[in-house]
């Protein structure tokens, strides 16, 4: 199996200012690509350490990926190392320079010498053109081993890796033993419940199929993987387990794909059913509509929303009855129901959803503790509310509420009876 | 300066299933404690690699912290390495064993041999008793250097480090120098512009003051740090540079603190000035109101918002003139201006802000490329719009737009003339 090593450069990573998410993302990608990711080295912006580490890794492993140390204020330590390591010299890359100038023009920034320096690259590297930023990626070869150098800004690093480096990797390492990996995304079911529902998988694990439950704030992901000489053979090893997962937990699996998002799936279902949606948010403060509109093309089904933080807005913008606000309080079944129906009527949509709750950390009472959330649903006339009591973490409560609402919409539209966390609907 | 190295053990870290947050947390803590954190090594559950790495680090640095590889499933490897490295043998720790049994009783789990194994520790280590879990921490000494071995579960690792390891560190390394670190947060100014505005800092750097520009999607953070025998002396070394930063860049520094957020500062200014705000969002889809309401107590100044994704909603909910929508299109100065004023009037607030743009990746034209955003402001009657052309990354564009709007509000209310990215206001 081809060996890969990752070198993350940057003092900020060592002193705890930045969490090294790049290494984790690269590790996942290289593993899928059939490399054995042996080590990750996180090192400071220090010439000697960078030089020693890159040189050694280049000798030890078929593929080395270096990230960081290329920003305009990193005084080019990394580039100096590369120049010395490959006894090369820096030359100006015209294409990169023009692109950087264009970016600065477009944004109306003043172009400066430090920016021009970013267009300087070692003569003997292949430039990986960076459409997302000013620091280009670089590809080097030495004794049949490869070295990829990328900027540390995550979205630029990911772009360069996927769009520029991967094609070269496929071409240079054709004989990799490939991994087939599948991610099954679930929402609204705890890890323990899910694993019990699916049951014992030793039969598969003993036959070399990897299984992992990966819990996250937005739900649990089931990851299964197997390797073989060809992707087809590896995929074949997963078929039986895949069928089992759908048989046992099909209702709570909203889709497949490591980065698949619930809002993406919900959006597709709305599109397929030619349905429109609007949101009425209090405690989630706009996070729900923001997630829905994270998806390109969401304007096809998302008409809009109201963030009704103050009670006056609940009344004026959503037709919530003042009487109900005074009687049951803003965090109540009736207010949630009226917000959902109100926004659907105002914005003339098929579906209206709402959230009103006590996000925390303060504001809780004995009868309505912090984390109490009422969610309202108006789905083509089907009118009901759900109550959940979540944590005392404000941001987590916002995220969980959004997830429950989206998953409830998905399950209702796909005819799944059980609701997230087995919540019971309160009808109007 | 005492040198420290961190070794993170675990395949899950290398294949990208888990992000290595432990290393970042430990790096921050050890730096504060006056250690130079030279490297972080992330390695697999592999005897040879663990043996080599721990042995080498123990020779190279005064302090080595190892996390992971102690769970009931793979404790053997790491402990075997430790036994061989210190040619010791495993003995059962009575206190730990009783504690583990107690935990299992309490949770009603059946106690098994693998669990008992966790009470086995190398004879020559000092046990760091773990009140939070079943895997104890261990402290080793060799040739005056120290090795701390901790479980990988974050809350257990943190507990053992703070409550068990720190007291020993203070006792064994009394002569450490302590670090004073300050974080200055800026928004709306590119890293290159900021560093040129502040100018050459060699005078400070040569006197042992560390300076770093940390760019992020929400702005650039300037970190300065110095070490001395006492915190007071270290702080003293920063005074002059701190004054210089405020003198050169005070206008763009919105506050101090590693985790300070712009929405928090904006919220405080609104509170202090007893002003209320409402938002009207198209391309940001609710992200602006969500950020504002991330701050506890934001209901004091945030009345609400309208997510006007469809044009009908812009007209019905925000009084945008249909004529202007048809003439200039939804992404235009007039629409942005009307959205801001409209939402302030509808929700009876002092301030209304709006965003309408082409978030991308699609929908761009020659005259209005992807990333074109118009932002509207109605600040106590002061009515103007800003135009920015951002990237072709949808989510980044949403985040940048929110940042520009919040920073514009902050600068206007604090009497700063220059606007983010030196944008020019277009008056109504």
B319 in contact with chain A, both atoms CB, cutoff 8 A: no
Q: In angstroms, what separates the C-alpha of B95 from chain A's closest C-alpha?
A: 30
pLDDT, averaged across chain B: 93
Give the pLDDT score at B230: 85
d(CA B156, CA B133): 6
Give the pLDDT score at B355: 98
Give the pLDDT score at B368: 95
Task: For chain B, positions 213-242, list CB contacts with chain A under 8 A.
Answer: 213-215, 221, 223
- CATH node for A178-256: 3.30.70.2860
Look at residues B414, B375, B174, B388 and name the one whose alpha carbon lies nearest to residue B273: B414
Give the pLDDT score at B73: 56
d(CA A210, CA A198): 15
Using the predicted structure, report yes or no on whether residue B185 has a pLDDT greater than 80: yes
More confident residue, A64 or B207: A64
B360 in contact with chain A, both atoms CB, cutoff 8 A: yes
Chain A residues lying within 8 Å of B316, measured CB to CB: 346-347
- CATH node for B2-172: 3.40.980.10
d(CA A140, CA B112): 52
Element housing A156 (H / E): helix A154-159
Contact A381, A240 (CB under 8 A): no
Give the pLDDT score at B175: 75
* Number of cross-chain residue pairs from A and B with Cβ atoms under 8 Å apart: 269
SS3 category, A77: helix
pLDDT digits (tens, 9 = 90+) for B274-288: 999 999 999 999 999
Going from the C-alpha of A288 to that of each of A357, A395, B340, the distances in angstroms are: 14, 12, 21
Sequence spans of domains, chain A: 2-172, 178-256, 262-427
pLDDT digits (tens, 9 = 90+) for B294-344: 999 999 999 999 999 989 999 999 999 999 999 999 999 999 999 999 999
Contact A343, A318 (CB under 8 A): yes
Write out the two tokens for A202.
């030793």
Look at residues B363, B390, B392 and name the one whose alpha carbon lies nearest to residue B374: B390
A424 in contact with chain B, both atoms CB, cutoff 8 A: no
Task: For chain A, positions 50-109, list CB contacts with chain B under 8 A.
Answer: 71-73, 106-109
Give the pLDDT score at A81: 95
Using the predicted structure, report yes or no on whether residue B218 has a pLDDT greater than 90: no
Contact A2, A34 (CB under 8 A): yes
Comparing alpha-carbon positions, the chain A residue that sits nearest to B7 is A41
Task: For chain A, positions 140-159, list CB contacts with chain B under 8 A.
Answer: 153, 155
> Which are the contacts of A78, defined by CB distance < 8 A and separation ≥ 6?
A9, A45, A50, A66, A68, A69, A70, A149
Using the predicted structure, report yes or no on whether residue B182 has a pLDDT greater than 70: yes
> Which are the contacts of A19, defined by CB distance < 8 A and separation ≥ 6?
A13, B19, B20, B21, B24
Going from the C-alpha of A293 to that of each of B264, B282, B356, B364, the distances in angstroms are: 24, 9, 13, 17
Asked whether the domain spanning A262-427 has the same topology as the one spanning A178-256, the reply is no
CA angle A122, A127, A129 (to 5 degrees): 140
Using the predicted structure, report yes or no on whether residue B113 has a pLDDT greater than 80: no
Give the ranges where B42-123 is alpha helix by DSSP (H): 47-60, 75-85, 94-107, 113-117
Q: Which residue among B31, B195, B293 places its CB closest to the CB of A285?
A: B293
Chain A residues lying within 8 Å of B223, measured CB to CB: 12, 17
pLDDT digits (tens, 9 = 90+) for B154-167: 888 999 999 999 99
Give the pLDDT score at A330: 95
Residues in chain B: 428
Comparing alpha-carbon positions, the chain B residue that sits nearest to A398 is B294
To the question of domain B262-427 being in CATH 3.40.50.1100, the answer is no
For an interface test with B, the pick among A3, A7, A73, A399 (most B C-beta atoms closer than 10 Å) comes out as: A73
Tell me which residues of chain A have a pLDDT lower than 70.
Answer: 72-75
Comparing alpha-carbon positions, the chain B residue that sits nearest to A118 is B192
Write out the two tokens for B249.
């860049």
More confident residue, B69 or B82: B82
Query: Do the Cβ atoms of B279 and A286 come within 8 Å?
Result: yes
Query: Do the Cβ atoms of B292 and A285 come within 8 Å?
Result: yes
pLDDT classification of B29: cutoffs 50, 70, 90: very high
Chain B residues lying within 8 Å of A5, measured CB to CB: none
Give the pLDDT score at B72: 62
Look at residues A233, A211, A189, A215 and name the one whose alpha carbon lies nearest to residue A34: A233
The DSSP letter of residue B188 is S
Q: Which bin fits B362, alpha (ψ -120 to 50), beta or left (φ > 0)? A: beta
Ordered strands of the B63-67 beta sheet: A126-128, A137-142, A145-150, A63-67, A3-9, A36-43, B36-43, B3-9, B63-67, B145-150, B137-142, B126-128
pLDDT digits (tens, 9 = 90+) for B72-92: 655 568 999 999 999 999 999
SS3 category, A193: helix
Give the pLDDT score at B115: 78
């Amino acid at each position: 199996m081809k060996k890969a090593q990752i070198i993350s450069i940057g003092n900020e990573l060592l002193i705890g200012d930045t969490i090294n998410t790049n290494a984790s993302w690269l590790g996942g990608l290289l593993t899928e690509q059939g490399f054995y990711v042996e080590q990750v080295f996180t090192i400071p912006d220090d010439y000697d350490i960078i030089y020693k580490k890159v040189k050694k890794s280049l000798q030890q492993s078929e593929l080395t990926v270096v990230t960081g140390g290329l920003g305009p204020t990193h005084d080019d330590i990394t580039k100096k190392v590369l120049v010395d390591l490959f006894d090369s010299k820096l030359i100006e890359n015209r294409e990169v320079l023009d692109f950087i100038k264009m970016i600065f023009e477009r944004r109306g920034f003043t172009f400066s010498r430090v920016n021009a320096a970013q267009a300087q690259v070692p003569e003997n590297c292949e430039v990986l053109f960076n459409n997302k930023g000013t620091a280009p990626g670089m590809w080097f070869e030495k004794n049949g081993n490869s070295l990829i150098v990328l900027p540390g800004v995550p979205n630029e690093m990911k772009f360069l890796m996927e769009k520029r480096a991967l094609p070269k990797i496929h071409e240079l390492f054709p004989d990799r033993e490939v991994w087939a990996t599948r991610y099954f995304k679930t929402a609204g079911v705890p890890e323990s419940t899910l694993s019990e529902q699916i049951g014992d998988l030793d039969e598969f694990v003993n036959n070399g199929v990897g299984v992992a439950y990966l819990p996250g704030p937005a739900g649990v992901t089931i990851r299964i993987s197997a390797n073989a000489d060809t992707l087809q053979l590896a995929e074949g090893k997963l078929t039986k387990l895949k069928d089992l997962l759908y048989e046992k937990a099909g209702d709570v699996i909203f889709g497949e794909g490591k980065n698949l998002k619930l809002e993406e799936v919900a959006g597709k279902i709305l599109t397929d059913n030619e349905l429109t949606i609007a949101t009425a948010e209090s405690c989630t403060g706009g996070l729900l509509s923001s997630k829905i509109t994270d998806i390109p093309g969401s304007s096809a089904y998302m008409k809009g929303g109201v963030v009704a933080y103050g009670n006056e807005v609940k009344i004026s913008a959503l037709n919530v009855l003042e009487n109900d606000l005074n009687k049951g309080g803003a965090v109540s079944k009736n207010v949630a129901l009226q917000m959902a129906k109100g926004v659907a009527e105002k914005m003339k949509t098929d579906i209206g959803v709402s959230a009103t709750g006590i996000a925390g950390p303060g504001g809780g009472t004995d009868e309505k503790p912090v984390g109490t959330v009422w969610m309202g649903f108006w789905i083509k006339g089907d009118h009901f509310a759900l109550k959940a009591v979540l944590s005392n973490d404000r941001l987590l409560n916002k995220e969980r509420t959004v997830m429950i609402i989206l998953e409830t919409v998905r399950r209702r539209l796909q005819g799944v009876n059980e609701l997230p966390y087995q919540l019971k609907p309160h009808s109007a």
